[in-house]
């Protein structure tokens, strides 16, 4: 049985070496003439060499073979629908809601083969944009690794845990946890049965913790709760081990005669990490009015415009609601941002009927949205006593300043789009009176 061990902290500089190989990490330098145990030194850069020290990120590996030992990459296609073609469908500004995406019941579909793009915007060649995918798989990756040359993956499991082997070590990510595998980090995913989840991919930058401002030094997602794996490696010869690269939106495969998970020691601040959403410290109103959802931001990928994100990852966790003289559910809204929502478990407070775990919704730029008829009437007439909200529920939102296009798979092929979604608002009636 695998024992998962972690280092804690967000943005920290870590050092880790396999306990059976002490002093595998060189002292006082990164690239000695000869590394201990006959290892190779290799750097993985997450930023330009000349990025400011406060933003500079990189890690050094000490591995049995350097990553360059592989045969040429060749184009590969799977039956999945991974794409960056945002023009394959005519634009659709309507509110969209998807029923739960189907888990594969037949055949052996691993994590990479089970990737499907729902929507996105931008271009990885110019390093600007995002994509939102779902993964639908039922089989572990065998003698196969994957890395993303285009950007970072923020993975949100919804059904089934993910046993992830990375070059840095092993992670286990269960539903109600998330993990981030940053650009270029090679990993393999093992599953125990049908598994489903969501992925937010960003091309521009890396995720960071949002600034706290007047909140102060503590709150929201605390740095100490983020976990990074400790060094783990295998020295295993494999005939035809596959390394798959997502490069400019296409998939390529290169073969080697060994497992690429052969890092005996490493140090740096460019690392994979996981986070348990149950540790999120909720900030909320204790007087009146409904706060903007930005107070629930876990991670953000900033744009070059101050205060505007390429993407925010936002959660709506269990909490108390105590506002006086206030309509407590989310208000009706038209947003200059795009809002993609998913549900990990439970029932979302603003739409308890049709928004289900494993499904999703998209409210595009300036498209109105808000509570359905039942939620509005109930909350408008409820006794405003302190009450718990979202117990046994975890909804989340990928919010972006980019106007996202839905793919053909998302709008047609998956056959999960709820064409009757608009009906949930049609019973909202006129309450206008000439006098109050």
Q: How far apart are CA 77 and CA 377, in angstroms?
A: 50
Q: Which residue in the list 13, 88, 234, 333 is annotated as catalytic? A: 333
Give phi and psi for 425, each to the nearest 5: -105, -10
The answer to whether 235 touches 202, Cβ cutoff 8 Å, is no
Q: How far apart are CA 362 and CA 398, in angstroms?
A: 9
Q: Which residue in the list 339, 349, 399, 411 is annotated as catalytic? A: 339
By C-alpha distance, which of 369, 396, 217 is closest to 312?
396
Q: Catalytic site residue 339?
A: yes
| Helix-, strand-, coil-residue percentages of the chain, each rounded to 5 | 10, 35, 55
Distances (CA, A) of 388 to 44, 277, 317, 322: 45, 17, 11, 9
Give phi and psi for 388, each to the nearest 5: -80, 140
What 3-state class would DSSP assign to 166? strand
Q: Catalytic site residue 128?
A: no
Q: Catalytic site residue 304?
A: no
Q: Catalytic site residue 369?
A: yes
Distances (CA, A) of 265 to 59, 60, 313: 11, 8, 31
Phi-psi domain of 62 (left: phi exceeds 0; alpha: psi -120 through 50; beta: other):
beta
Distances (CA, A) of 324 to 288, 321, 332, 378, 435: 5, 9, 19, 16, 24
Q: How far apart are CA 14 and CA 1, in angstroms?
A: 25
Q: How far apart are CA 37 and CA 62, in angstroms?
A: 10
Q: How far apart are CA 415 and CA 182, in angstroms?
A: 31
What 3-state class would DSSP assign to 391? coil
By C-alpha distance, which of 267, 261, 231 is closest to 31?
267
Q: Which residue in the list 290, 352, 373, 377 is annotated as catalytic? A: 290
Q: Catalytic site residue 333?
A: yes
Distances (CA, A) of 290 to 95, 326, 327: 23, 7, 7
Residues annotated as part of the active site: 290, 333, 339, 363, 369
């Amino acid at each position: 049985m695998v024992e998962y061990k972690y280092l804690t902290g967000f943005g920290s500089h870590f050092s880790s070496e396999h306990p059976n190989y002490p002093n595998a990490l060189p002292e006082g330098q990164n690239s000695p003439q000869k590394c201990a145990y006959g290892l190779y030194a290799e750097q993985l850069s997450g930023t330009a060499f000349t990025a400011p020290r406060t933003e500079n990120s990189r890690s050094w590996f000490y591995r049995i073979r350097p990553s360059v030992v592989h045969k040429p990459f060749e184009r590969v296609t799977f039956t999945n629908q991974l794409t960056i073609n945002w023009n394959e469908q005519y634009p659709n500004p309507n509110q969209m809601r998807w029923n739960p995406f189907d888990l594969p019941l037949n055949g052996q579909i691993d994590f990479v083969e089970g990737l499907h793009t729902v929507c996105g915007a931008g271009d990885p060649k110019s390093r600007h944009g995002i994509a939102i995918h779902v993964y639908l798989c039922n089989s572990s990756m065998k003698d196969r690794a994957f890395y993303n040359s285009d950007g970072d993956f923020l993975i949100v499991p919804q059904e089934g845990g993910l046993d992830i082997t990375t070059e840095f070590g092993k992670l286990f990510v269960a539903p109600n946890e998330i993990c981030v595998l940053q650009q270029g980090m090679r990993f393999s995913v093992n599953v125990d049965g049908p598994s489903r989840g969501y992925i937010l991919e960003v091309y521009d930058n890396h995720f960071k913790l949002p600034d706290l401002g007047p909140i102060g030094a503590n709150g929201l997602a605390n740095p100490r709760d983020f976990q990074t794996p400790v060094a783990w490696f295998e020295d295993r010869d494999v005939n035809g081990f596959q390394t798959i690269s997502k490069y400019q939106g296409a998939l390529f495969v290169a073969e080697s005669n060994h497992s690429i998970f052969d890092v005996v020691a490493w140090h740096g601040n460019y690392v994979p990490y996981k986070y348990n959403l149950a540790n999120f410290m909720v900030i909320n109103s204790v007087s009146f009015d409904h706060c903007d959802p930005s107070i629930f931001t876990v991670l953000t990928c900033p744009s070059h415009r101050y205060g505007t994100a390429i993407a925010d990852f936002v959660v709506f966790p269990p909490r108390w609601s105590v506002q006086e003289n206030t309509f407590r559910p989310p208000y009706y809204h038209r947003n200059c941002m795009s809002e993609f929502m998913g549900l990990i478990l439970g029932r979302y407070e603003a739409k308890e009927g049709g928004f289900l775990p494993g499904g999703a919704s998209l409210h595009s730029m300036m498209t109105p949205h808000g509570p359905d008829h039942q939620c509005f009437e109930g909350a408008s007439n409820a006794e405003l006593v302190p009450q718990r909200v979202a117990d046994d529920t975890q909804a989340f939102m990928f919010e972006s300043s980019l106007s996202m296009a839905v793919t053909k798979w998302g709008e047609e092929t998956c056959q999960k789009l709820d064409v009757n979604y608009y009906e949930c608002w049609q019973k909202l009636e006129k309450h206008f009176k000439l006098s109050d």
